[in-house]
Every structure is written in structure tokens, then in C-alpha cells.
Amino acid sequence: MTGLSTAGRALGAPLQTNDQIFTQFTQFLQRRKVLWELKLGVCQSQGPTAGSTDISVVLDGDDNPITCRTLIGPPPTGSKVAVIFVPPTGYYIVGLVGGQPLGPLGLVAAVGVSTTGAISTAGSAETDILNLQFKAQVNLTRLYEIRVSILIVGTVTTDTYTITVRRDTAVSGVALATNSDVGGPVVAFYDAWPYVPTANETVSFFTSHARRSGTGTFQAFGGSGSGFRTWAGLYDVGPISLFTTS
């Protein structure tokens, strides 16, 4: 019996392992810019807001900076960040490396009024607007802004009224913000106030109106039906570490 022989026969290429095939496939996807890539880099500049497109980052192993869009707020210059390349749109900063996340900027908590009718009783003394009560979790490392939008209806044009935001208890709680305005038949009131937390806690917010001068009464309404809406909320302005001291 004659054994099989490979003499004089061309040898085929050795079979590739699964790991080798996967590596080649991954490299192909990267060359074609189909595969999302996670990279690390160092911020060269600080963007002003979440969603800013002028964050300059040098990726590890590179020399030339690239422009990234941040999804975590404005990272401090020199911070190490995680960057994802999403073809074909570009590079996104998705986290901090070796540090606490900055967290998203913007609305933390709010309450809105959908009705266009009265939402408080008419009066001259300080009156709580029940529909504008809300709670929000605050952190000592962040700065915040309280924003209030109310449609106020008064019975005497020359009267003035005061809008106050308090914490913990309606009408008698600690006043966090206040502003006075001129009355009139209908007034669309809007204002924003800075808020610096004193502890890591959940805070209850209450909004009220009161007559400051005059003889008439005031009442809060849900909206005018022409695009104006009554609401109150707390916004995250950014980490305290990014605010310089003057």
C-alpha cells in the first residue's frame, strides 16, 4: 500500500485562527470608519457649555489636537477624558478618566402648569402657588439657578407685587430668591436667581406671590394661551471648580 505524498505539490496557506480573523475584520471596520472607537486623551481647552464644539483634545499617541463635542459638561483644561469616535459625525467626550464625572448641565427638576386658568387664590398677603411646588437633588460641588415663569393677574394697575421662592416650607420657609414687579391687568413674569447649596440633599421649592404696595389683589394663572406658560425649575449651571474667584 502506497502512502500519500506531498512531494511536488504546492502547499496551501495555513488556516487562520478565529482571533486572527477577528483582528483582521476589526482592522477592516476601523479603516472603513464603520466601527465606533473608544480612545483616551487630554483636554487642551475648556468648552463653555455642554454640547460645545470647541473642546480641543490630544488623543493618546497623537500630536495634533482634534475638536470634540462634550456630553459631560465643560471638562477642565488638562483633564484626562474618554473619547468615542462615532462615524461619520465625529468625536464625543463621554467621561472623565480617574475622576468624578462632571455630570450633565441643564434642567435638574421642574414643574409646569398645563391649564390656562387660575392656579392660586386672589389675595394681597403672601400666597403659595401650589402647582409650582417641586423637589430637586442638589450637590455641594455644583452651582444652580432657580427659574420661575408665571402669568400674574392683578386688579389694580398701579399696584406692585413680589414673587418669592422659598425652601422646605411654603410661605414661611427660608427665602432663596425674591423679585418685585409692577402689577396691572396681566403681567408675564420671568426671572432667574443663582442658588448655592449648603449640603448634599433633596430640597423642596415653593413659589408664592404677595402684594408689595397698593390696594388690589393678585392671582397666578397657568398661561395666556398664546405661547406663554407658567413653570418653575432648577438648572445646573456647572461644577464649582470651574468658577474662578475674583
User: Model confidence over 37-77: pLDDT tens digits?
Assistant: 788 888 887 655 545 567 889 888 888 888 888 887 777 77
Cis peptide before 88 (omega within 30 of 0): yes
Confidence (pLDDT) at 1: 47
**Do residues 85 and 41 share a domain?**
yes
Amino acid 119: pLDDT: 93
> Of 58, 73, 96, which residue constitutes the final position of a domain?
96
Q: Kindly state whether residues 47 and 136 are assigned to the same domain.
A: no
- Which value, to the nearest 10 degrees, does the dihedral of the CA atoms of residues 43, 48, 49, 52 take? -60
48 burial via Cβ count (<10 Å: 0-12, 13-18, 19+): exposed
Query: Are 194 and 202 in contact, with CB atoms under 8 Å apart?
Result: no
CATH of the domain at 32: 2.40.50
In a domain, residue 13? The reply is no
Output the pTM of the full model. 0.61
Contact criterion met (CB below 8 Å) for 55 and 75 = yes
Which pLDDT score, from 0 to 100, does residue 120 have? Answer: 94
Q: Would you say residue 86 lies in a domain?
A: yes
pLDDT, averaged in runs of 10, over the chain (246 residues): 51 62 65 70 69 76 86 76 82 77 74 90 94 91 91 90 96 94 82 92 94 92 80 89 70
pLDDT at 88: 74
In angstroms, the CA 208 to CA 97 distance is 44
The residue out of 72, 96, 120 marking a domain boundary is 96
Is 4 part of a structural domain of the chain? no
- Please indicate, yes or no, if residue 11 is contained in any of the structural domains: no
d(CA 60, CA 82): 10
Do 117 and 77 sit in the same domain of this protein? no
Cα torsion angle, 214, 219, 220, 223, sign: negative
DSSP state of 223: B
* Domain assignment of residue 218, given as a range: 106-242
pLDDT digits (tens, 9 = 90+) for 182-204: 777 788 899 999 999 998 889 99
